[in-house]
Structure 1
Amino acid sequence: MRTLPDRIRHAISFEVIGLLLVTPLGALAFHMPLDDIGVVTVVSATIATGWNFFYNVGFDMALKRLTGSTQKSWWARVWHAVLFEAGLLIVLVPFIAWYLQASLWQALVMDVSFSVFYVVYAYAFNLAYDWLFPLPEWAAEAEERAG
């Protein structure tokens, strides 16, 4: 399982890279000022960072209990990303509506758009992160399976 420093590096790098991508894309897509979208994305990222840490710990614990390993299959990665974004949706829609003085429907459309981006981004980011920072136990598990 990942260490605390590794989980912190994961959460922070995920959010920083995501912000650098989603803020200008959101401003362009929704025809809103960069600073308004910037506030929404920074607040959202701050909330998401905390959620990311606790969610990943819980997901890995559940995965280890169910499969005996924290190594994620393709389907586990898909569920990991989708469930993460669903949890954020519940919290962020009311905030977006309030801050941008938009209807809940408009906020939902915006947040779903951001979520679709982040589902794809989360899948790609986590795949790259696991490739860059593999756990030693995965090599031993692969040797065991090859056996």
Structure 2
Amino acid sequence: MRTTGDRIRQAVSFEVVGLLISAPLAAFVFGYSLEKTGVLGLIGATLATTWNYLFNLGFDHALKRLTGSTHKSVKLRLLHAVCFEAGLLIVFLPIIAWWMEIKLIDALLLDVSFSLFYLVYAFVFTWCYDTLFPDPDSTPPPAH
């Protein structure tokens, strides 16, 4: 299992890199000011950082309990990314509508766009992170 320090490094680096990409991209694509999307990104990053730590900790504990390892196949990485983003989407929707001063349906479009971006980004980032900083428990479990 990863150490607390490693989990914090992963969560913070995930959010910093994601914010540097997503805020300007959202401003450009949706025509909002960088100030609005930047602050929205900071709110989302704070929310997502907390969720990232808790979700990954729970996911790894469950995976280790069920399989004896924290090794993640491509299929499991996809499930991980989808579950992470679905939980975040539900919580972030009303915040987006409030901060951007838009209708819920417009906030949903923005939220889904952020989620789709982060779905792909989470898959790529986590794979790269696991390659650069391998989890000592990530060896595949022995075949039965």
State yes or no: 1:11 paired with 2:11.
Answer: yes
Q: Distance in 2 between matches of 1:103 and 1:66?
A: 42
Matched, 1:25 2:3: no
- Higher percent of residues as helix: 1
Q: Over the residues paired in the alignment, what is the CA RMSD in angstroms?
A: 1.4
Aligned to 2:39: 39
Aligned to 2:75: 75
Supply the distance in 2 between the matched residues of 1:134 and 1:62 (Cα, whole angstroms): 19
Which amino acid in the other structure matches residue 132 of structure 1? Answer: L
Greater Cα shift, 60-69 or 117-126: 60-69
Q: Scaled by the length of structure 2, what TM-score is found?
A: 0.95
* Aligned residues with identical type, % of pairs: 56
Local SS of the residue matching 2:69? coil
Where does structure 1 lack aligned partners over 5 or more consecutive residues? Answer: none
Q: Which amino acid letter does the alignment assign opposite residue 89 of structure 1?
A: L
Residues 1-147 of structure 1: pairs in structure 2 closer than 5 A: 1-138=1-138, 141=139
Number of residue pairs the alignment of both structures matches: 143
Distance 2:31 2:21 in 1: 16
Q: Assess if the C-alpha contact under 8 Å between 2:2 and 2:136 holds in 1.
A: no
In structure 2, stretches of 5+ residues that fail to align are none
- For 1:71 and 1:137, locate their aligned partners in 2 and report how far apart those are by CA, in whole Å: 7
TM-score normalised per structure 1: 0.93
